[in-house]
Structure 1
Amino acid sequence: MTAPTDSDESLVPAASVASERRRAPRARRIPRSREQQARLDAREPAFEPLPFALDEAAARRPFADKLREWFEARRWQPFDFQRDVWAEIGQGASGLLHATTGAGKTWAVWFGALGAFATAEPSSRKRTARTHPEPLTVLWITPMRALAADTARALQSSAAELAVPWSVGLRTGDTSSAERARQNRRMPSALVTTPESLTLILTRPDAREVLSHVRLVIVDEWHELLGNKRGTQTQLALARLAHWHPELQVWGLSATLGNLPFAADVLLAPVKTPRVSVHGALPKALIVDTVIPDTIERFPWGGHMGMRQVGAVADAIGEAQTSLVFTNTRSQCEVWYQALLEARPEWAGLIALHHGSLDQEVREWVERGLKNGLLKVVVCTSSLDLGVDFLPVERVFQIGSPKGVARLMQRAGRSGHAPGRPSRVTIVPTHALELVEAAAAREAVDKRQIEGRETPEKPFDVLVQHLVTVAIGGGFDARELYAEIRGTYAYRQLTQAEFDWALGFVEGGGTSLRAYPDYHRVVRESDGLYRVPREDLVRRHRNNIGTIVANGTLNVAYLSGGRIGAIEESFISRLKTGDIFTFGGRALELIRVQDMTAWVRRATTSRGAMPQWAGSRMPLSSELADATLTMLARAADGIFDEPEMRAVRPLLELQQKWSALPEPGVLVVELVKSREGHHFFCYPFAGRTAHIGLGALLAWRVAREKPGTFSISMNDYGFELLSAQPFDWAAQLQGGLLSPDELEHDILASLNSSELSMRRFREIARVSGLVFQGHAGQQKSARQLQASSGLFYEIFRQHDRDNLLLNQADDEVLLQELDAQRMRRALERMNASRVVVTRPKKPTPFAFPLIVGRLREKVSTEKLADRVERMLAELEKAART
């Protein structure tokens, strides 16, 4: 049997709940043929709630009979795990359902809900099934608003086919004002929504009444929320509902989680109903293979090899009905779209681009084209990682390393999205060492070595926002709310003093903002409840709800009309009028920047600067890094039993000849002297983010005894420290250079921690409501927001040192930006490893990409290519001697 959806979506960068109140301008559509246009004109429309009408005789039939007939009509058989979920929901339990993508998780919880609640006694109010369906009973929370319509459509159609007297609604940032008004008059029986939109409902003065009949909350793709503040926001909303309804049931759905007990504990902490875990152990063939280049240099450098594979990838795409080509960054997505279109110009109109910066209408057009089998290939980012059911997709390609086992499995699941159908993902390496990663990823998938997810601990910005939300939504008693919030996993260790500080902050602005009425956001009224005293503060808070904080973006729109999408403000700021840049698969000429919009027109040339998006590089996960080291250990023993390893064998053998291969328990350090200076290369395989901190940390520790200046380069495998003067690195390593003692102190001392904290504080200030983004259509620029948050940061530093938001900024720098926990684990492992110090005469194959990465930051692309070519010729000559 097939599951129509396990709905998710990409996080649109400019997403905030302020967008719930506006409709985006119409976007210019992707060019297509008349035949395609005719087929798309007959496409399935966007989700619209059906007029409610039902045959009451059919509605009175036993649900079990109708469900059995529904399955038989499709020649399906329910799986055991689905029956288990139906039974558990019927018995009042909450739980976490973990099953492979496309296994039918949606039907498991939805039919459980219909079986348990659609057959219950009708409410006491006078109604008929035909005109008055059941009140709001089920909340379905999805992380992704753009694809939530697919879920709502599946729930609605199945309820109608089963003659169940339920209506289904959709409420996200894309829901029309007319539909929201209709819901405000009467909520549907089941509502598909997002954490932000649910929080907005909680700000209604009658929120408790509106949600008074909710019996079940389903959190789809829980792993996507677990590790971030949107998950914390969800926990607080569940705690509010559980406070109102002690019998509330909550079910989470996930396909890729490594720490299931922990994930269940976080989700179900507020609920009081019995808890269970259900595993859908279904046989699912997952094929992981690799496009292996014809030639592989022994001295690789990052990114250069991928574009050589365009022809091979295009040939493989041609053999499948429909394919998805996943990239790790939006810039790479744009590049590959152009390259494939140039390689196969006959695919014009059959190839599309999909990433979170493109306009909603463009993305929806692409999604419909995929569902209806109208597109041959879509080049995309994580915007299509999750949720929607694209049955025509047969092949998935991953450009470059997937960086994680869970991500690879999730993307592979976009193909063969049905039980019994194999999923296939083909890795396209952009770097020779990614061949080793590809072999390691396949083995990790076979062993199901899936990454776990951590969750934020006591984020005070989310707590401050929630206090104002609840104050608007009917008010709160401080003592009761403290107990309610402590019921969540995120705030289980919240002290009374911390809660009192947060309450005082929203009540009076804290120590330094007492003189400003706008920061007196709640007041205690005569009945003892805290409420928001002014309507303008209510409007401001509702426009600021949410925890998605985007990098500053500008709309991109044609002078002639039509919005294309949103792009980083920092990128546009480097362009001048008349410059050409590539975006949305087309070359655009910048005309002017005005009203937070980059106005453009189509350029006559086909080439332009490629936008760069902040935060686009994902670090290698610990699980995949460990699997890669295991592969290298086999190579060190002369075992090359995977096709990828055989292809990269000359490179690895040269690395071992000139230096050594990193292995589990073996840390390789290379000391090289060149015309540039003295190089220290180290290969912990801890991921790019941890290597940034490790490089700065070791440089700072060494320079304490002997002053020196270092250039730092890093990738997922290791880092380089380059200095003009020599250091006795061997003695330093023996003297405790790798000790994890005093790590946090040394990290903050080795970096410009104040600058990092100030940057982090910008996000915290926005979430906590200190900085207002602006009303719909009047958003402030990133520069304005940064200036405002920076002012608060300095005021708090000077006059309110005990402000918990400042402490949170410091903690988030350590935990998120520098990944201090992973740095500590890496240092502990490095300190316990056998350190192999080598002194090769030339940079080794592992060192070469680090050198190129450093040079890339200093010279133009043309000069870099020339310099790399000269270096390669010199190294290959040395390798042949």
Structure 2
Amino acid sequence: MSKQHPGLKIIETWFEERAWEPFSYQREVWNNVLSGRNGLLNAPTGSGKTYALWIPILIRWINEHPETYRELTGNGLQLLWITPLRALAKDLEQALQTVVDELGIPWEVARRTGDVSAYKKRKMKQQMPEVLITTPESLHILLAQKGYPTYFEDLQAVVVDEWHELLGSKRGTQVELGLSRLKHLQKELQIWGISATIGNIDEALQVLLGADHNSDSSVIIKADVEKKLEVRSVLPDDVETFPWSGHLGTRLLPKVLPIIKKSHSTLIFCNTRSQSEVWFQQLLEAQPELAGSIALHHGSLDPKIRSWVETSLHEGALKAVVCTSSLDLGVDFTPVETVIQVGSPKGVARFLQRAGRSGHQPGATSRIHFVPTNALELFEAAALKTAAQNRTALESRDPILKPFDVLVQYLVTLGVSEGFHPGQIFSELKTTFAYQALSEKEWNWIMQFLTTGGKSLTRYDEYSKLVQEKGLYKVTDRKIKRRHRMSIGTITSDTMMKVKYMKGATLGHIEEWFITRLNPGDTFWFAGRAVELIRTKDMTAYVRRSNASKAIVPSWMGGRMSLSSNMSKLLRQKIHEAIEGTSKDIELTAIQPILKVQNDWSMLPDEDELVIEKTFSEEGCHLFFFPFEGRYVHEGMSALIAYRISQMTPITFSIAMNDYGFELLSDQDIPIEKALKQNLFSDKQLVEDIFSSLNDTEMARHRFRQICQISGLIFPGFPGQKKTGRHLQMSSGLFFDVFSEYEPDNLLLQQAYDEVLSHQLDEARLRRALKRIQSQKITLKNTKKFTPFAFPIMVDRLRERLTSEKLIDQVKRMQVELENEV
């Protein structure tokens, strides 16, 4: 054994010196990597996934250089490790470097992400490290460099970490495109993915390895490690006085403080950045002695602040950190013993991912406490606990097919560097999962678009980006090159403004639309402190510290998540258990008083039933539907139902929705009885009716702005010279109007409409929901009062019309009135 595999012997000795024993699944991965196979590793968070893929790379190196592995330096890039998060990259760099240092292998482990200095990046061009950890965006920036093939001439393997997080996003498509190029440069390249929580594992492997992968040379390995998990719900003392809707969960703060005190270190996950800012302030107000030992972490804070928080967590210097999804992924914070989830994460996989941040090491127990923000979230608490304990109902991540904006950006990337032969790149694209169905007609359109600007932009030289030289298509314009390298990536958001002290540090970034609502002198919470706005200049909001006890809580667009399809199904199952009285869940026991009110005033919808409630008030006629299919599906379904009823009789609606149902409100009686007799929930002509019911042009226009940024039609500006959101919106709107009128077959324009259907309205899931409803019993209930299920939906509608303070007062008053009637 030692003569044939000296590397294995050395690694086993290294494990023994640390009193470690490799898991059987780790040895299985080692054997498959050493046998030359590609694959996907599926293992729980904190079970040693990193070592499963890192160790066999070292074993092979020692096997190939048994006498000199301690002496060879400057070996070129051997392993490329792709990760979705900068924080994860930094953590990995330390973990991987520690192993080679202890083994005496003179390898350099480095990372190339947006927060790495320009000096280190220039140094890499001269001599690549043996291991490079990078993000999808930084990989494409490498592909945009002159002479990039030399960077990868020694490359042996690629590992894509947290593949479930990338799959189903345009960042995942970037990975697919990058791998297609690397596979051409290195024919024997090994590719492995790592995923902790995903439902469609077989499809995930296909997307990772591409449409041309050989199933005989690939494998899926599922870890046989039993990860201990404790899930507990934090319950209100009196559920009848607990909020029925909205709120941030701070009513349960007194019950959260003992959990924090008992644990050495705790992560408190909030679903939005606004919620995290509020919780941080509330914790400090409730227990001032926590000052200095708790911190805040979310994606809008300055990288230096986030880095300090992460380092302090590693060192065990923080008692608690209030965070968002910015700490979701596999960063190893060993001191963290407990996780608190505030509000429903809306998905099983996300819940388990966050739970795994505690006890993040083999054999340790992960502990997570669920803190509901309103009474009905107790249903979700029970559903999540059951799913987590049984490890069931993990969500699938559907891959994106043919995102043309990402492809346009990629081709310009290749044109900026070495140029490309269209025939060769087209063949490579056909090997990817995303572009396997790309037609020659579509390919020819894209090439024409990049070389001439297409039908609409032919007269403008700046949109003729590619020039043919001796069969190669290149970008020769220096201005286009510079702009492109500055805007590589697929992460888009509303225009961000820097938040900076008048004299001092940068705190982070906030969306432009929020700052434009403020006046100089206004105070708002940011980065865990109250700051006063002094002035704005050059996309920077200058502030100073404030001692104000009250301040505006900033909000960010797109903060709300929608219930996953698996969670929807679990939710309906829990309601069924509540009806049958078979559940032993303490959450369902706690919510019984509210369920009794719902049943007395209307009814509890069983799994094979759809309940519709009809109620009259001073506002008019209210219809409440309860499909329990999530906010995004309800957005499309509510517009569809409203349109179909309006086709029967002239009528105008106001629409509101949440994850459990939706409301149609009209100032006249709504003929729902008549509509139900005419197959109201049919899935026939679904797409036509949806686009007739919604302002599809405006929805597509909004999606098109992101497509414009990714494809390079609009340029957001250089650092320090960022363009305003209004400027970008006007620019993308102009393109949208021109293409709509003169080039309706423009692929980027078509993509905008496709994304509205597939992503914003989730057309496939909406169709499945309609088919399910068609097979159910539909019950119409005429109610005299707004029921506990209807009340939260109505509050969502009021939220759009009232300020937060006025809304809270009105909701409290309405809830007291309802409680008195109970």
Pairwise same-fold verdict (TM > 0.5): yes
Once the two structures are superposed, the pairs formed by residues 555-594 of structure 1 within 5 Å of their partners are 555-594=498-537
Q: What amino acid does structure 2 have at the position aligned with 1:243?
A: H
Which of 461, 467, 477 does residue 421 from structure 2 map onto?
Answer: 477
| 2:125 paired residue number | 184
Matched, 1:397 2:335: no
CA distance in 2, matches of 1:867, 1:607: 20
The separation in 2 between residues aligned to 1:377 and 1:340, in whole angstroms, is 10
Q: Which residue of 2 aligns with 1:102?
A: 46
5+ residue gaps, structure 1, are: 1-59
- Residue 393 of structure 1 aligns to a residue whose secondary structure is coil
Counterpart for residue 410 of structure 2? 466
1:204 paired to 2:148: no
Return the match for 2:221 from 270, 274, 278. Answer: 278
Aligned: 1:237 with 2:178: yes
Match of 1:155 in 2: 96
Counterpart in 2 of 1:358? 301
SS at match of 2:155: coil
Q: Which amino acid aligns with 1:329?
A: T
Counterparts of 1:277 and 1:540, CA distance in 2? 41
CA distance in 1, matches of 2:804, 2:462: 50
Letter paired with 1:483: S
Distance across 2 between alignment mates of 1:131 and 1:113:
15
Letter in 1 for 2:344: S
Greater shift, 642-651 or 862-871, is seen at 862-871
| Equivalent residue number for residue 280 of structure 2 | 337
In structure 2, what residue type is equivalent to 1:591?
I
CA distance in 1, matches of 2:792, 2:181: 52
Pairing 1:656-735 to 2, within 5 Å after superposition = 656-735=599-678
> Structure 1: which 4+ aligned runs deviate by more than 4 Å?
127-131, 270-273
CA contact (8 A) 1:239 1:270 kept: no
Supply the distance in 2 between the matched residues of 1:586 and 1:165 (Cα, whole angstroms). Answer: 45
Question: For residues 13 and 806 of structure 2, what CA distance do their matches in structure 1 show?
Answer: 69
C-alpha deviation, 1:659, in angstroms:
1.3
- Structure 1 position 503 matched with structure 2 position 453: no
Q: TM-score, normalised by structure 1?
A: 0.91
Q: Name the SS of the counterpart of 1:170 in structure 2.
A: strand
Deviations 1:326-362 (A, max 9, x none): 0000000001001111111101000100000000000
Moved more, 425-434 or 443-452: 443-452
Q: Structure 1 stretch 378-387 or stretch 842-851: which is displaced more?
A: 842-851
Q: How far apart, CA to CA, are the structure 1 residues paired with 2:449 and 2:816?
A: 64
CA distance in 2, matches of 1:640, 1:165: 59
Count how many residue pairs are aligned between Structure 1 and Structure 2.
Answer: 818
Aligned mates of 1:302, 1:875 — CA distance in 2: 13
Alignment partner of 1:532 is 2:488: no
1:32-61 per-position Cα deviation (integer Å, ceiling 9, x unaligned): xxxxxxxxxxxxxxxxxxxxxxxxxxxx99
- Listed as ranges, the matches of 1:490-639 within 5 Å are 490-526=434-470, 528-639=471-582
Shift in CA distance, 873/132, structure 1 to aligned 2, threshold 3 Å: closer
Report the residue type matching 1:580 in the other structure.
T
The answer on whether the counterparts of 1:555 and 1:598 sit within 8 Å (CA) in structure 2 is yes
Cα deviations by residue, 1:699-722 (Å, 9 ceiling, x for unpaired): 111112211121111111001111
Partner of 2:135: 194
Q: Specify the code of the residue in structure 1 equivalent to 2:63.
A: T
User: CA offsets per residue over residues 711-755 of structure 1, 9 Å max, x none?
Assistant: 111111001111110022122112111111111111111111111
Per-residue Cα deviation, 1:160-215 (whole angstroms, up to 9, x for no partner)? 11122422111011111111111010000110011111111111221112211111
Aligned residue for 2:504, secondary structure, equals coil
Contact map agreement 2:499 2:508 (CA 8 A) in 1: yes
Correspondence 1:738-817 to 2 at 5 A: 738-817=681-760
Q: Is the 8 A contact 1:300 1:845 kept in 2?
A: no
What is the deviation of 1:856? 2.4
Cα shift readout 1:109-168 (whole Å, capped 9, x = no counterpart) = 001111123532599xxx996473321011000001233111011111101111224221
SS in 1 for 2:656: strand
The one-letter code of the counterpart of 1:114 is: L
| Residue 227 (str. 1) matches residue 227 (str. 2) | no
Matched, 1:141 2:85: no
For residue 556 of structure 1, give the secondary structure of its aligned residue in structure 2: strand
Shift of 1:64: 2.1
How many Å separate the matches in 1 of 2:538 and 2:594? 53
- Decide whether the 8 Å contact of 2:475 with 2:481 is kept in 1: yes
> What are the residue-to-residue correspondences of 1:363-512 with 2, within 5 Å?
363-447=306-390, 448-512=392-456
| Local SS of the residue matching 2:455 | coil
Give distance in 1, aligned partners of 2:242 and 2:229.
Answer: 32
d(CA) in 2 for partners of 1:192, 1:158: 15
Does 2:22 match 1:81? no
Separation in 1, partners of 2:388, 2:487: 41
SS in 2 for 1:844: coil
**Residue 474 of structure 1 contacts residue 531 of structure 1 at CA under 8 Å; is this kept in 2?**
yes
Contact 1:239 1:271 in 2 (8 A): no
Q: Which moved more, 1:87-96 or 1:662-671?
A: 662-671
Alpha-carbon distance between aligned partners in 2 of 1:118 and 1:707, rounded to the nearest angstrom: 78
Residues 869 and 202 (structure 1 numbering): CA distance in 2 closer, same or farther, change over 3 Å? Answer: closer
Q: Cα gap change, 1:139/1:479 in structure 2, threshold over 3 Å: closer, same or farther? A: same
Q: Which amino acid aligns with 1:695?
A: S
Residue 616 of structure 1 aligns to a residue whose secondary structure is: coil
Which moves more between the two structures, 221-230 or 771-780? 771-780
In structure 2, give the amino acid aligned to 1:834.
K
The separation in 2 between residues aligned to 1:657 and 1:636, in whole angstroms, is 13
Which structure would you say has the larger RCO, counting Cα contacts within 8 Å and 6 or more residues apart? Answer: 1
Q: Find the residue that maps to 2:232 and give its secondary structure.
A: strand
Residues 146 and 360 in structure 1, CA contact (< 8 A), matched pair in contact too? no
Q: Note if 1:868 corresponds to 2:811.
A: yes
Q: Is the 8 A contact 1:334 1:353 kept in 2?
A: yes
Q: CA deviation at 1:876?
A: 3.0
CA distance in 2, matches of 1:642, 1:270: 45
Q: Secondary structure at 2:611's aligned position in 1?
A: strand
Question: RMSD of the alignment, in Å?
Answer: 1.9
Structure 1 pair 658/495, CA: closer, same or farther in 2 (3 Å)? Answer: same
More deviation, 528-537/135-144: 528-537
2:792 match: 849
**1:651 paired residue among 581, 585, 594:** 594
Shift of 1:535: 2.3
Instruction: Compare 847-856 and 508-517 and name the one that shifted more.
Output: 847-856
TM-score, normalised with respect to structure 2:
0.97
- Equivalents in 2 of 1:410, 1:623: separation in Å? 16
AA aligned opposite 1:622: S
What do residues 604-648 of structure 1 show as CA deviations (whole Å, max 9, x unaligned)?
Answer: 313211111000000011111111111111111233411111100
Task: Give the equivalent residue in structure 1 for 2:37.
Answer: 93
Output the CA distance in 1 between the equivalents of 2:305 and 2:52: 32
Matches within 5 A, 1:289-308: 289-297=232-240, 300-304=243-247, 306-308=249-251
> Which ranges of structure 2 fall in alignment gaps of 5 or more residues?
none
1:33 corresponds to which residue? none
Q: Which amino acid aligns with 2:80?
A: L
C-alpha distance in 2, partners of 1:639/1:121?
Answer: 64
